[in-house]
Amino acid sequence: MTSILTNLFDGVAYGMLLFVLACGLAVTLGLMNFVNLAHGAFAMAGGYVCMLLVNKSGWPFFTALPLAFVSAAAIGVLLERTLYRHLYTRSHLDQVLFSIGLTFMSVAAVDYFMGSSRVFINLPDALQGQFDFFGVGIGRYRLMIIVICGLLTVALQLILAKTRFGSRLRAAVDDPRAASGLGINVPQVFAFTFAFGCGLAGLGGALSAEILGLDPYFPLKFMIYFLIVVTVGGSSSITGPFLASLLLGIGDVAGKYYVPKMGPFVIYTMMIVILIWRPNGLFGRTAAR
Amino acid sequence: MSAASDVGYHAQRHARWHFGEIAFWVLVLACGFLFPSRYLIMTDIVRLALFAMSLDLILGYAGIVSLGHAAFFGVGAYSAGLLALHGIIAEPVLALIVAGLAAMVLGFATSFLVIRGVDLTRLMVTLGIALLLEALAERFSNITGGTDGLQGIEMQPIFGTLAFDMFGKTGFFYSIAVLFLLFLFARRVVNSPFGLSLRAIKNNPLRAAAIGIPVNRRLIAIYTLAAFYAGIAGALFTQTTAIASLDVFSFERSADLMLVLVIGGTGYLYGGLIGAVIFRLLQELFSTITPQYWQFWIGLVLVVIVLVGRERLHRWALFVPNLIIKQVAGRKAVIAVPESDA
């Protein structure tokens, strides 16, 4: 019984992490209809920045996390202004090719500068180990992830639903022409959203170094996971990808624990079945227009 | 002249063998005799060309973007490997066809998943299938050899007479023959009314359905055929290299394949062939500059191609040949890449 609860807890933490990693993609892919397979590269950038700051420069972990967010967002806004914005109107094939190219470049570049082996971030003592909570083993680090990601999710939902920026974004997505006619600076809204999504990915990358493992192949290894979250979750709201991430996280952890031999088999089968059953995602009206 | 006969006339003219095409194949064959020390790399190019042609059938003609075409390549490769390893079908040509059929069956089964949904869902499903197969191949390591791959494959002579030699001469001419035969068939298919209906579907599925083309059935048919081609390419890989390892399913293989096709251009069959040559030469060049990090340059090429624009790039590449044709023949150039890329 307790092992089930522990697994559930780990799965929730894993799912929350996936959500933070992928929700930027939910915006670019779902809302802006841009197939960005290079999303994991931004996560990797954040992770490596955090690793360098903590391990090499001796920054405290919690100060390095916002820096990971900022640096990934900065890279995101730079690339968006110089490269991505030319491709919004292009075909999906072009977008796929472009972002695969970027992914390959990022993998090789990180490999060149950082070496190909897996890196670890030195965590503060307060985050290590686990404690018992009514007999359920709870990892401190995972608890922190759940808290951070939970707060982020609530904040995102509020931003999207309640603020002026949120309504601008939704308007820009629904009908860019009408929105710009109403005086909304659509490219600016998109650029900001893109950068924010990249920043979240960077933060997720920094947090995931401990759980998912951080190496130069990160963008390729987890690309499919991000895509699963978005396509299965749909994109009409934040809730869809959130629930999809939780489902994926719990499913993956449980799958690896109870049927270790089947490995990633469970996840892929689940995804294909869901996509056949509901091609537009479990919770979405339309995954892509 | 009525519209229908007009279309027929143009389609027929387009389907005729041009001088340039014959010259192309003579050149390919000549390469076999001109560079006897390069059989291995040339065989590699031929395999890649066949694989790219298979993707061209669905991407260039039917407009299906696939990120998991390596799935069929892998199935073909492992089928051919297992058939040879256990001596079930020792004769290579027969084994090749059987391996192709195995991939075809998978293609037919998965085509029903692929025709559902839009671009994005297709990307995911194709990618998912390839990953699934990779996981399966790793899981059933007692059959596939796991991460070590299939080892100790010994190929029997083709038709019982032509043995594979260590320089790869037989392998090369065998691959060329297979490529040419399959090319002929593909050429016939894409120039048939069936092929024309595929183009109609690619341009506008809704309108195609409205004029009575059974869209889904056509897509299933071409997807199955493309799977067969990819399976043959995979089987050729195993037969000429005598290994089959997990990387036949890898995502990089599918991604590289897209690059090959994009370099060569989609929708005129030769794209994959020309692209394969250029891709391998580029790869050789990059790996001599930076052995470990050639992937970076491959990525850069992809990004540049997309940013410059594929149509513009092809116009530039064809500028000189077209100029020559114009000067020599005094008429409008006949070489042109179809503008409507997927």
The string of pLDDT tens digits covering residues B92-138 is 899 999 999 999 999 999 998 888 777 777 888 888 889 889 888 88
Query: CB contacts < 8 Å between A and B, how many?
Result: 136
What was the pLDDT predicted at A288? Answer: 40
Interfacial A residues in 76-105 facing B (CB < 8 Å): 83, 86-87, 90-94, 96-98, 100-105
Residue-wise pLDDT for A234-253, tens only, equals: 766 778 888 889 988 888 88
Residue-wise pLDDT for A208-232, tens only, equals: 888 888 889 999 888 888 888 887 8
Q: Return d(Cα B126, Cα B74) in angstroms, integer.
A: 13
Q: How far apart are the first and last CA of chain B?
A: 31
What was the pLDDT predicted at B335? Answer: 52
Q: b/e for A11-25, b at 16 or more Cβ within 10 A?
A: bbbbbbbbbbbbbbb
Instruction: Tell whether B263 is within 8 A of chain A (Cβ).
Output: no
Instruction: Tell whether B56 is within 8 A of chain A (Cβ).
Output: no
Instruction: Tell whether A115 is within 8 A of chain B (Cβ).
Output: no
Give percent of chain B with pLDDT exceeding 70. 94
Pick from B243, B246, B237, B194: which is nearest to B215 by CA?
Answer: B194
- pLDDT averaged over chain A? 85
Name the phi and psi angles at B158, rounded to 5. -70, 130
Contact A274, B106 (CB under 8 A): no
Contact B123 A96 (CB under 8 A): yes
What was the pLDDT predicted at A129? Answer: 75
Instruction: Tell whether B292 is within 8 A of chain A (Cβ).
Output: yes
Instruction: Tell whether A124 is within 8 A of chain B (Cβ).
Output: no
pLDDT greater at residue A269 or residue A107: A107
Name the phi and psi angles at A58, rounded to 5. 70, 25
What was the pLDDT predicted at B340? Answer: 45
Contact B219, B111 (CB under 8 A): yes
Check whether A263 has a pLDDT greater than 70: no
Check whether A144 has a pLDDT greater than 70: yes
Contact A104 B255 (CB under 8 A): yes
Check whether A141 has a pLDDT greater than 70: yes
Contact A106, A44 (CB under 8 A): yes
What was the pLDDT predicted at B207? Answer: 92
Residue-wise pLDDT for A92-122, tens only, equals: 888 999 999 999 999 999 998 988 888 888 8
What does the block give as tokens for A18?
């996936």
For residue B305, the chain A residues in CB contact (below 8 A) are 97, 101
Minimal Cβ distance to A101: which of B116, B123, B299: B299
Which residue on chain A is closest to B114 by alpha carbon? A276
Instruction: Tell whether A271 is within 8 A of chain B (Cβ).
Output: yes
Instruction: Tell whether B138 is within 8 A of chain A (Cβ).
Output: yes
Residue-wise pLDDT for A7-26, tens only, equals: 888 889 999 999 989 888 88
What was the pLDDT predicted at A236? Answer: 65
Instruction: Tell whether A14 is within 8 A of chain B (Cβ).
Output: no
Which of B115, B124, B247, B293 should be substituted to probe chain A, the one whose Cβ sees the most A Cβ atoms within 10 Å? Answer: B124
Contact B300 A105 (CB under 8 A): yes
Which residue on chain B is closest to A33 by alpha carbon? B120
Read off the pLDDT band of A287 (50, 70, 90): very low
For residue A287, the chain B residues in CB contact (below 8 A) are 117-118, 120-121
What was the pLDDT predicted at B291? Answer: 78
- The complex scores an ipTM of 0.82
Which residue on chain B is closest to A275 by alpha carbon? B121
Residue-wise pLDDT for B264-286, tens only, equals: 888 888 989 999 999 999 988 88
For residue A224, the chain B residues in CB contact (below 8 A) are 127-128, 131
Contact B298 A91 (CB under 8 A): no
Which residue on chain B is closest to A272 by alpha carbon? B125
Amino acid at B168: G
Mean pLDDT per block of 10 residues along chain B (342 residues) reads: 72 81 90 86 93 93 90 94 88 92 95 80 85 86 81 81 80 92 94 91 90 93 96 93 87 90 87 92 87 85 87 78 73 50 42
For residue A84, the chain B residues in CB contact (below 8 A) are none
- SS3 string, B246-304, reads HHHHCHHHHHHHHHHHHHHCCCCCHHHHHHHHHHHHHHHHHHHHCCCCHHHHHHHHHHH
Query: Residue A244: CB partners within 8 Å, gap ≥ 6?
Result: A228, A229, A230, A232, A233, A234, A281, A282, A283
Q: For B88, which DSSP code?
A: S
Contact B76, B230 (CB under 8 A): yes
Check whether A289 has a pLDDT greater than 60: no
* Torsion sign, CA atoms B78, B247, A224, A190: negative
Instruction: Tell whether A261 is within 8 A of chain B (Cβ).
Output: yes
For residue B127, the chain A residues in CB contact (below 8 A) are 224, 227
Q: Return d(Cα A163, Cα A289) in angstroms, integer.
A: 25
User: Could you tell me the residue ranges of all domains in chain B?
Assistant: 30-289, 295-337
